[in-house]
Amino acid sequence: MIQKKIMIVEDEVIFGIDLIEKLENLGYQPDPNIIRYGEGVMDAAQKSKPDLILMDINLKGKMDGIQAAVLVQKHLNIPVIFLTAFSDKETLSNAKKAEPYAFLKKPVKLEDLKITLEIGLYKAKMEKKLKEKNSQLQEALDNIKTLKGLIPICANCKNIRDDKGYWNKLESYIEKHSDALFSHSMCPTCMEKCYGNEEWYIEMQTQKRFNKKK
């Protein structure tokens, strides 16, 4: 089984090292480089390509964990689990803007980390499958052409007027606006009207082929 790669964004080095040890004990592959500043998250994530990021909300520097997570979700679509020592409503409300997969309160217990990672990675897997299905569905819908609405057609010759005012043969118009193709033949009524009877028409066609062979 391939180990899932986890990146840690944490400005407290000792806490970050503790997380690395916990992740290794749980069978994950933690990135050895702990990112301490929000400004460095995008570059690090692009190089490391982790399956999931453990992100502290309160980071030193100009960019906090929430801002960094928003960029990661928007441009890299990597799931983020927030780490926080604070669980007040304001902090959680602001953090929800980044659409994290979960929250872990510091200090992180091993069992809590285990369960949260399993759920987060499973959720990310399901969302990826859903996006792929939606993409396939949209591609299929884009390939489907349908005719709908009022179509102006000549009552006599059955030609159809397009939106530019030009009259098109019925077959040409339908083939252009749908995936239908035409093969031409004659119904019994038209056959009798044009050629008298079916036997006469067959005899005529046979005679034509015979003359061509000569």
pLDDT tens figures, 118-137: 999 999 999 888 888 888 87
DSSP the chain: -PPPEEEEE-S-HHHHHHHHHHHHHTT-EE-SS-B-BGGGHHHHHHHH--SEEEEESS-BSSS-HHHHHHHHHHHT---EEEEES---HHHHHHHGGG--SEEEESSPPHHHHHHHHHHHHHHHHHHHHHHHHHHHHHHHHHT-----S---B-TTT--EE-TTS-EE-HHHHHHHHSS--------HHHHHHHHSSHHHHHHHHHHHHHHHH-
Give mean pLDDT, residues 80-107.
85
pLDDT at 72 (0 to 100)? 93
pLDDT tens figures, 44-59: 999 999 999 999 998 8
- Give me the CATH code for the 5-141 domain, please: 3.40.50.2300
Domain ranges of the chain: 5-141, 147-181, 184-214
Q: pTM of the predicted model, to two decimals?
A: 0.64
* pLDDT, the chain, mean: 84
